[in-house]
Amino acid sequence: MFKKKVAKPSGPLTQAALRDWLVAYLSDHLKVTSDEIDTSLTFESYGLDSRVAVQVSGALEKVVERRLSPGLLYEYQTIDDLCGYLAKELRLPDQAA
């Protein structure tokens, strides 16, 4: 279970902000520094089970303000893949202008 709530990105939601939020969220859960999270590794490689995948999806819904499938972390198995998918679906810019 996550001990602290990772703050929603401030400013406009971009693909980069979403990636940073996911890195912070996972680093909090895994109790490692953000630098230790490789966005190209699978969620499974970090030991995330289905319960945690549902928690991540639920928290991510609040960030993107949209209903998401709990299975997204299985369809898009890395932070990079998931952020790429969400950026395309939500028409997010890669970075703030």
pLDDT digits (tens, 9 = 90+) for 37-88: 999 999 999 998 888 888 889 999 999 999 998 889 899 999 999 999 999 9
Each residue of 13-45: pLDDT tens digit? 899 999 999 999 999 989 999 999 999 999 999
Answering whether pTM is above 0.95, one says no
Number of residues that this document lists for the chain: 97
Give CA–CA dist 71/24, Å, rounded. 20
Measure the CA–CA gap between 45 and 29, rounded to whole angstroms. 14
Q: Is-contact 55 2, C-beta < 8 A?
A: yes
Distance, CA of 25 to CA of 58 (rounded, Å): 12
